[in-house]
A and B are shown apart, each in its own frame.
Chain A
Amino acid sequence: MSIRNTEKIFDKLNDEFVSEIRELLDSVEPDFLAMEKSGDNVSPELINRAFRAIHSIKGSAGFGGFDALRALSHALENVLVKIRDGEMRLDADKTDAMLAAMDKLRIMADNIYASNNVAHTEELARLEALVTGNRLQGAGDKLQATDDREQPATCNLQLETCNLQPATATHDKIRLMPEFGAELGNPVFNVGKEEVKSAIADAMYIFALAADAEACSGEKKFTPEAFSKELNEYGRCLYADVHEKSDLTRFYHFIFATILEPEFITQLLGIPKEQIYRFERTDLLAALEQPPEMSGGVRGAGSGVRGNPPHLEPQTPDPVFKISRSARNDNREANDNREVGDNRDVNDNREANDNREVPVPPVASYLLPRTPDPHIRVSVELIDKLMNLVGEMVLGRNQLHRSIAEFVDEHPHVNPLVQNLNVVISEIQENVMQMRMQPVAYILNKFPRIVRDLSRQISKKAELVIEGGAVELDKSILEGLSNPLTHIVRNCLDHGIELPEERERSGKPAHGQIRLKAFHEGGQVHITVTDDGRGIDAEKVAEKAISKGMLTYHQMRRMSENEKLNLIFLPGISTAETVTDISGRGVGMDVVKTNISRLGGHIECSSTGGQGTTVHIIIPLTLAIIPSLIVGVGKCRFAIPQINVAELVCIKAGDPYNRIEKVAESDVLRLRGRLLPIVSLGEILAIQPTFIHPDTGEELPDRRRRLSDRRKTAPLSKKRKEMFPDGAAWHIDVDEILERRLEKISDRRRSPRSDIYIVVLRAGTNVFGLHVNYLFDNEEIVVKPLSAHIKDALCFSGATIMGDGRVAMILDAAGIAAYAGLRFGELEAEERRRKAAFENRESAALLRQKKHREPVLIFNNAAEEYFALALAGISRLELTQPDKIERVGEQEFLFYQGSVLPLIRLEKLLPVSPLPENLKELYVIIPKTSRNAAGILSSRILDTVNADVSVKRDATTTKGFLGTAFIDKNLVSFLNTEELLDLFEEEIRSR
């Protein structure tokens, strides 16, 4: 093995160490917290698990020569021993000390080669204080003495262990032959293989002890039996020569397996270190692997092995063991012979001091599968590569499909083959994507610690509830999510949760609760952070924003509670009265927002005063593959990430109320009462728009320049009636329906060229419409980053390769808004102006109402029977065809705006003539009601007129009617919506 190779292997091993250490630290932390919680009744399992983890860290550190890491984990181990032995119980302060040490370990692990330079004396001292403070003075000193200062001594001890006679094996026994020297005797032990194996698997060291019978018996009433009993308390006594003791020597010999370090043993058992020998794990393993027939020469083989260590190598089949073994041998030689050869160079760059320890056998300990690990470590880079390749394979499949489609048609037997391939490829794609996914628990699990530390620091009481930790997210997203979430949780605790006294005063439990919840919804992952604290005062936030000049008073007045609340995502806004160590500087939430947006996510905040705050984060499942809407302008196609798409609007040629207008030089669309700035993608990108001629099917250039010019204005004869009931964004397209009725537009074939497609995009809090030529399908696209040469193109966030192999650009909503220079502020002003005008109109309407005249809608059920409903009481009119009406039993339904709308036939509830059969079109009147919505069927909408609606009821007026009046010489029955709905509900119930 060349030096270079060795170096590589060391680097690789060290990388492994580091990730291993990190993982172990992560796994131990919750255990510590659990220990703290359980106080006296710490479960031994918990301690042992923590102990094992810390021990492994120590082992790895010792092996790599990371002394600081080793020393600190060693000190931690000491504390754990105390806890295990019941000599100490964890309280908050002790846990603090241990957690601090853990953090230091983490810092060391993060920069492993500099780890020896990380200052850790404070943590060490704290841990030592724990140990000494809780133990009998003498013993404490003893244990404390095991620290670094004693290192040379332990080194010596271990140097001797290296000279150990290793072992050979018979078929079920392993023969261990420690050489204590003539004085102490050289016993031979036959120990059961299985016992040794299980001891090794439990990460135990195996020692041979020589106990001085006389010396001990004088002091401690020593009997070999008692001694082996004592040994069994600390570990496992695998073998004792108690019964076969000869008179030749006054020493008893024991084989002892334990997880304790050699330096502990001297102290615990009171045996001088000369009398303790440790078997090298690798030697043991080699001996265990040895087939029985090879162990012919009992002693001879042993000596041979010892004298010539490489001799063993061919018998270790696992190359990993080889590495560890040769590394160990290097060390051994270096130590034994003080020979600085090539092998030393390997270690020199990472091991400054010469105080090298003979390796504890950690490599073997953690490479030995304790229970088979179902996971395998793979680099993200590799997975990314695989992702790309799979993406390509999918493209290749699609292309192949297209080109062999004809062939498949002609040879149907090929079809199942193709389909099978399809399924397999899709599955591969899915699985590879799955590989990048990690459970959210990965980041959520650090929060109990954060909440605990913080609540102690600011003397608040809070518990954290985590739900949905199994929800999986792309690794890169997860990593990006960690910091924002931490910030939010800290905010919850610092600003949200009140002090315990305050909480009790307001009748809440003293312990605040923070709830972290992750769940899937609509192909995205939602994460909510909820606290039951004091909530955020939206007014206060708004005031702050005004005082900082980010908002005008007028703007503020127009904002909803929620909008005000979400101002906290503006930079520099904090409602905290004092800036604390933890938060309150006001820089936080905007950074959170930026980070979340960078992940392609959204963040929102809602709060109820006195009851708590919820922060809601919505993020895509993966960054690499995103669902997108494909749109087209001219010959170009573009992808828009679904997360940016709020809705799609198609403006039909004959639709005068969704028309595009001009406000201050820019196109705007009035969408449900709000003004939406419109940007034309073709204009922005200077692409000649095209349209497909409806008759010839050819693609022709579209020469129309301005969107706003295309719409004819509303018919002058009929004044537009806008309904803004309670300020909500509704208007009734009564005129349109009337107009359509008059013009029989439904019969006229519409030319698709005159339809306008608007994609309503969300860019942060702003919403705008993007006018495109074509809307294609939704597609899952693989995002390819942009090269440096086109990075500065504001409007694009990436590129992707479409199913046909062509490249399409991914549009960036925020970039387009910025490029187009959309001035959302001006529009808001315009909107305000219009709203004011509308309010004027409304007050005028109110005035009219005083004269009891208001607009009513007149319609037919059966022809020649006229009905009227107050227009103000109608929320919507819908035109539909009879075949769109679904029937369940006698009840009819219409699928409307994503829900099911029950329909009312007047003749079923009222004494009126039935709706004529065989109508081509039906109108559905949807009354405004606080109850479950229902639609009233009608055959014809006639007109809207201003009429006196204060019609008098008389004795003949049946339920469901308000009364009757003559309008335009026709007898019109005014309906009473509420009574009608009553009747409808009765009818349903009676069925």
Chain B
Amino acid sequence: MKCHETESIMHAYLDDDIDGYPYQEFLEHIKTCHKCKKHFEELKITERLLKQLPMVSTPPDFVQKLMQQLPQKESKTRIKR
């Protein structure tokens, strides 16, 4: 396997869709190719970081503000929560 053939396999792995890709051949390749191995490790770290981006809090008065903007006649309904 050539180095330029590995990138699409790495991303197919991240998309959990390696069917149809020579994944075993790729694993053999990175045993000896430091550059591709490093690339793959960096990608896995990148994806891990992306998945761990924390949720930010929605402003506490968000729903109240929104309900006040709705057309007047309907917004008289009191919202319970």
**Physical interaction between A and B:** no
Interface residues of A (CB under 8 A from B): none
